Amino acid sequence: MVGMAKKSQLAWSTVALRLWELSWPLSGMEVLTFAKELIITAFVGRMGPFELSSLVLSQTLYNVFGNAPMLGIVVAMETFCGQAFGAKRYRVVGVVLQRAVLIVTLFNLMCAFLLSKAEYLMMMMGQDLTIARTAGRFTVMLAPCLVMDGFDQCMRRYLASQSVVQPLMFVTLIATMMTPIYLWFFIIQCDWGLDGAAVAWNCVQCTSLMGMFVYVLWFNSQQEPAKRTWHGWSRECLTDWATYIQVAIPSMVMICLDWWTFEVIVILSGLLPRPEMTMSMMGITFNVHALCFFAAHGLSGAASTRVGNELGAGRQRLAWLNTQVAVMMGMASMMIFAGVLMLARMQLGAMFATDPDVVELTSFAVPALAISLIGEGANTVLAGVLRGCGRQKVGAIINLGMYWGVGLPFSCFLAFKCGLGAMGLWTGLACTASLQSVYLSYIVFRFDWSLEVTRAKALIASGEAEFEIDEDPVPIGLPNDRSELDRIG
C-alpha cells in the first residue's frame, strides 16, 4: 500500500512538472500579448480622450467581429493536431496546419469585409458620429492585422501540439519589445496620429508572423525523418473541411460567448448612475482580471495538448490524470492571485486612478473579483480539456446556459433591480464563474475516458465522430496501471 501511494504521488508530481513546463511559456506569451495591447493603448491615450475613446471602440468591434471568432476557428487545431501527434500520425499534423490556414484565411477575409462596414455598425449602435467615423477608419486599417494573426495563430497551435512552446514566448517578446518603437516612429516621427497607431499595430503583427514563420521553417528542417510533421503542401488539405468545421464552430461559439459576456458587462456599466465612476472601476478590475486570467491561461493550452496527446496514444488513464492535476493547478494559481488582490485591495485602485471615489469603488469590487478568479481558474483548464477531447460543443452549450442564460440576467437583476450597481455586475459574474466551475467539473469528471480514446481514434482515422455529451458517463478512478505509472515516472 505504501509503495502504491508513493507511486501515485510520483505520477502526480511528474504530470504536474510536465504541465508546468508547457504552461509557463504559454502564460508568458499571453501576458506579453496583453502587455502589447496596453502599450498601444497608453500611446494613443496620450494623444487625447477622443483618440482613446475611438481606439477602445475600435478594439471592441475588432474583438467581437474578428479576433474572438477567428481564435475559435484556430483552436480546433488543438484537437486534431494534439490527438494526431499522440497517435504518432505525424504527417497528419502538417496536413491539419495546411487545412486550418486555408479555412482561417477565408474566414478572416469574410470578417475583414464585415469590419469594412465598421462605421455603419457603430452608428447603428448609437455611437457618436465623429467617434464612429474615426473608429471605423481605424478598424478598417486593422484588417491586414487580422489576416496575419490568423496565420500566426495556426503556426503557434502547430508547434504547441508538439510540446514546442518556449519559442512562442520569445517571438511574442520580440514583437512586444518592438511595439513602442513602431508606435514612436509612426505616431511621433511620421506624425500620422491615430492612423500611425494602426500602421504600427500591423507592423507588430507582421513582426510576430515573420518570427513564427522563420522558426517553423527551421523547426521543420530539424525534425527527425521518422517524426517529421511537415511533408510539403498536399491536396489532402482540401479534404475533410466539414470535419474540421464541425469542431471549429463549437470552439468559436464557446470562446465568443465567454468573451462577449465581458464586453456586454462593460456596456451595461455605462448605463448605471455616475457612469464615469463605474466604467472607470470596471476598466481597472477587468484589466486586472485579464492579467491574472492570461497568467494562468497557459494551463489551458497545456491541458489541451497533454490530454489530446494521451488520448491519441490510447492512454486514457494518463489523460484522466492530466485532467485532475491541471484543474488543481489552475485553481491553486488563481487562489494565489486572489489572495494577493485581497491583501492589496485598498491600493489596487490607486495604481490606476487618482480619483478617491474610483479607488474606493475598486476596493469594494475586489472580493467579488477574487471569487470569480477562482472559478475561472477551473473553467479555463476544463475548457482546455474539452478541446483536447474534441468536446467543444459541450463547452459551447454550457457557456450559453451559464453566461447568457444565468450570468447576465442575474448580474442585471443585482445591478439594476436590487440597486447594487457595479457591485451587482461583479457579484453576478463571480457567482456565475463559481457555478459554472462546479457544473463543468461534474461533466468532465464523469467522462468515460475509454470512450474518449475510441472517439479520438475515429476522429483521426476517418474524420467521422459525434460531438455530443454522453447520456451516462462512467466515472473513472485514479490511474492504477503499473506500466503507465512506470512510464511517466
Quick one: 86 exposed, middle or buried, by C-beta within 10 A (0-12, 13-18, 19+)?
A: buried
The whole-number pLDDT of residue 471 equals: 35
- Of the candidates 139, 118, 251, which has an alpha carbon nearest to the alpha carbon of residue 197? 139
List the domain range (segments joined by +) for residue 423: 2-488
Decide: helix, strand or coil at residue 24: helix
CA distance 81 to 120: 39
CB atoms within 10 A of CB 108: 25
Tens digit of pLDDT for each residue in 159-217?
A: 999 999 999 999 999 999 999 999 999 999 999 999 999 999 999 999 999 999 999 99
Tens digit of pLDDT for each residue in 452-481?
A: 888 888 877 654 333 333 333 333 333 444
The per-type count for the chain, helices as H runs and strands as E runs, is 20, 0
CA distance 245 to 233: 20
Decide: helix, strand or coil at residue 166: helix
The whole-number pLDDT of residue 185 equals: 96
Quick one: 235 exposed, middle or buried, by C-beta within 10 A (0-12, 13-18, 19+)?
A: exposed
- Of the candidates 258, 235, 225, 224, which has an alpha carbon nearest to the alpha carbon of residue 72? 258
Task: Tell me which of 448 and 462 has the higher pLDDT.
Answer: 448
Cβ atoms of residues 369 and 288 within 8 Å: yes
Cβ atoms of residues 14 and 488 within 8 Å: yes
Which residues, 6 or more positions from 249, have their beta carbon under 8 angstroms from its beta carbon? 72
Q: Report which DSSP code applies to 473.
A: P
Q: How many domains does the chain have?
A: 1
CA distance 332 to 381: 12
**CA-angle at 74, arms to 17 and 35, nearest 5°:** 65
CA distance 135 to 141: 10
Tens digit of pLDDT for each residue in 255-305?
A: 888 888 877 887 777 677 776 677 677 777 877 888 888 888 889 999 999
Average pLDDT, the chain: 85
- Of the candidates 107, 396, 89, which has an alpha carbon nearest to the alpha carbon of residue 241? 107
**230-250 average pLDDT score:** 91
The b/e string for 241-264 (b: 16+ C-beta within 10 A; e otherwise) is eebbebbbbbbbbbbbbbbbbbbb
The b/e string for 322-344 (b: 16+ C-beta within 10 A; e otherwise) is bbbbbbebbbebbeebbeebeee
Tens digit of pLDDT for each residue in 10-25?
A: 577 888 899 999 999 9
Q: Does residue 428 carry a pLDDT above 80?
A: yes
Cβ atoms of residues 93 and 229 within 8 Å: yes
**347, three cell numbers:** 491600493
Q: What is the pTM of this model?
A: 0.85
For the CA atoms of 384, 388, 390, 392, the dihedral, rounded to the nearest 10 degrees, stands at 0
